[in-house]
Chains A and B, each alone.
Chain A
Amino acid sequence: MLEKGKISAAQIGKMMYLAVTPTAILSTPAISFKFAGQDLWISPLLAFSGVLVILIALGFHRLYPGLNYVQISDRVLGPVIGKTVGLALLFYYMYTTGIIIREYGDFVAGAFLPQTPLLVVTGSMVFLCALAVRGGVEIIARFADVFIPVFSLLFLLLTVPLLPELKITNMLPIMGEGIAPSLSGSFILQAWYSEFVLVSFFLPFAHNADQAKKTAGFSLLAVVLTLVASNLLTLLLLGNVTGNYTYPFLIVARYINLAEFFNHLESLFMVIWVVGAFVKICIFFYVTVLGTAQWMQLSDYRPIVFPLGFLLILMSIWVAPNLQYLSYALSTTANLSALTAFLIIPALLLLLGVIRKRMGSKA
C-alpha cells in the first residue's frame, strides 16, 4: 500500500465539497446565465451526473474494495489495454489540474495582482500544494477540515449583507420558456458534478467507508445548495447584466457597502478563492501523483511530487494561449472530455467489472 494515512468518511465529504465548489462559484453564474437566462438558479439543481458518479464510485468500492478506478481499469481490462487507459486517464487528470491552476492564476492575476507575472502566482501555489501533497492524504483531509468553516463563514459574510439589496423581480418569469433553457445551462455544470468521481480515490483510505454514501451525498447536496445560492444572489443583484462579466460573483462582492463603512469586501472573496483553490489543487494534484505512482508501480509516491508539480505548472501554461480561449474551451471541449473521463469511462469500467465478476463466480 502506497498510502498509510487514514481518513474518515466525513473528511471525504468535506474534501469533495472543496474539490468542486471553488471554481464552480467563480464561473458558473456567467456560463449558466448564457444558456438559462433568469432561470440560471434552476440549472445547479439538475445534478444528475453528481448522483451517478457517486453511485459509480461506491459501486467500485463494493466490487474491488481498496482499489481506485485507475487500478480497476488495470484489473478489468487486462494489463495492456488497462495500462493504456490508465495512462490516458492520468494524462487527463494532469490536464484538468493544469486547467484549475490556470483558472486560479488568471483570476488572481487578473482581478487582484495585475502587475505580477502569472507564473509567479501559479508557481508559488503549486509549490505550496506540493508540500501538502508530500504530507499525504491525512494532511489534505485536515486542511479540508480546517478550511470548511472558514469557507462557509466567509461565504455567509458575503451573502448576508446583500439580502436587503436583492430584487426578487429579477427572477421572474420563472421557467417562462419551460425547463429546456435550464437543462441547457445545467449541461455545462455536469462536468463539475462529475468531479465527485474522485471519491473513488479516497474511499480505500477511509476507516469507515460504509458511511461514505451518506457523507458524499450530503456533500453533493451542499454543493448544489451553494451553487443555487450564488447563482440566485448574482441574478437578484445584477439582473440581466450577469452575463456581461467573466466573474459575476466578484462584482457581487464588490457591491457590498455596509453603513458606508465596510467596503471592498472582495478581499474576503479573494480569501475564499485562495483557500478553496488551494484544497482543490491539492486534491487533484494528490490524485495525479498517487495514480502515477501506482501506474509506475513505485514503492512511494513522495519522490515524484516535485517533478510532477513542475509538469503541472507547464501544463497550466500549455492548456490555453489566453483567457478567452480557455473560457471557450471550458464550455465546449474541456466540458465534454471531462464528462468522458469522469463519467462515461468509469461507468463502462464498472459495467465491465460487474460482468467479469459474474462470469468469474459462475465458472
Chain B
Amino acid sequence: MKWAQVLGIVVLLLLMALFDWPKMSRNMKREKIAYASLAGMGAVLAVLLVYDPELPGPTQWLQVLYQPLVQIMEKLIVKGG
C-alpha cells in the first residue's frame, strides 16, 4: 500500500504544479525556484512520513532543547499548586 500513497503524493504535487506553473510569467525565475524547492521539500518529507510515520518531528527537537526549562517549570508549578 505504501507505493499507492507515494503515487498519490506525486499525483497531488503534479496537479498543484500544473495549476500554479502557467500562472507564473517567464521572468519570475526566483518564484519558480522557490516553488520547486518548497514542493521538493514537501515531496521528500511526505515520502519519509509514509515510510516512517514515527519519524522524530520538531516537537521532539524542541523537547530536547527545552528539557531543563520544562523541569524547572514543573517543579515551580507543583510547588505553587
Report B38-56 CB contacts with A as 1/0, cut-off 8 Å: 1101100110010001110
**C-alpha gap A307/B33 in the complex (Å):** 12
**C-alpha gap A95/B59 in the complex (Å):** 9
In the complex with contacts A311-B45, A319-B59, A304-B34 CB distance below 8 A: yes
Is A355 an interface position by the 8 A CB rule? no
**C-alpha gap A36/B77 in the complex (Å):** 10
Chain B residue with Cβ nearest A36 = B81
A–B pairs, 12, beta carbons within 8 Å: A180-B81, A181-B81, A185-B81, A296-B30, A299-B28, A303-B23, A303-B35, A310-B13, A311-B42, A318-B49, A320-B59, A337-B66
B81 — which chain A residues lie within 8 A by C-beta? 35-37, 180-181, 184-185
- Contact (Cβ within 8 A) B62 A334: yes
The interface size bin for chain B is 35 or more
Is A241 an interface position by the 8 A CB rule? no
- Residues of A227-264 contacting chain B, CB below 8 A: none
Q: Chain A nearest CB: distance from B20 CB in Å?
A: 6
**C-alpha gap A140/B42 in the complex (Å):** 25
In the complex with contacts A300-B31, A303-B23, A318-B73 CB distance below 8 A: no
- Contact (Cβ within 8 A) A329 B73: no
Is B69 an interface position by the 8 A CB rule? yes
B76 — which chain A residues lie within 8 A by C-beta? 184
- Residues of A189-223 contacting chain B, CB below 8 A: none
A-B contact count (CB 8 A): 107
- Contact (Cβ within 8 A) B42 A303: no
Interface of A is mostly: helix
Q: B-side interface residues toward A, CB under 8 Å? A: 12-13, 16, 19-20, 23-24, 28, 30-31, 34-35, 38-39, 41-42, 45-46, 49, 53-55, 57-59, 62-63, 65-66, 69-70, 73-74, 76-77, 80-81
Is A314 an interface position by the 8 A CB rule? yes
The interface size bin for chain A is 35 or more
Question: A299, A333, A334: which has the most chain B beta carbons within 10 Å?
Answer: A333
Q: Chain B nearest CB: distance from A324 CB in Å?
A: 13
A304 — which chain B residues lie within 8 A by C-beta? 31, 34-35, 38
**C-alpha gap A315/B24 in the complex (Å):** 26
Q: Chain A nearest CB: distance from B65 CB in Å?
A: 8
**C-alpha gap A37/B81 in the complex (Å):** 9
- Contact (Cβ within 8 A) B16 A303: no
B49 — which chain A residues lie within 8 A by C-beta? 314, 317-318
- Contact (Cβ within 8 A) B20 A311: no
Q: Chain B nearest CB: distance from A308 CB in Å?
A: 6
**C-alpha gap A152/B10 in the complex (Å):** 42
- Contact (Cβ within 8 A) A319 B57: yes
- Contact (Cβ within 8 A) B59 A310: no
A297 — which chain B residues lie within 8 A by C-beta? 30
Report A285-310 CB contacts with B as 1/0, cut-off 8 Å: 00000001100111110111011101
Is A67 an interface position by the 8 A CB rule? no
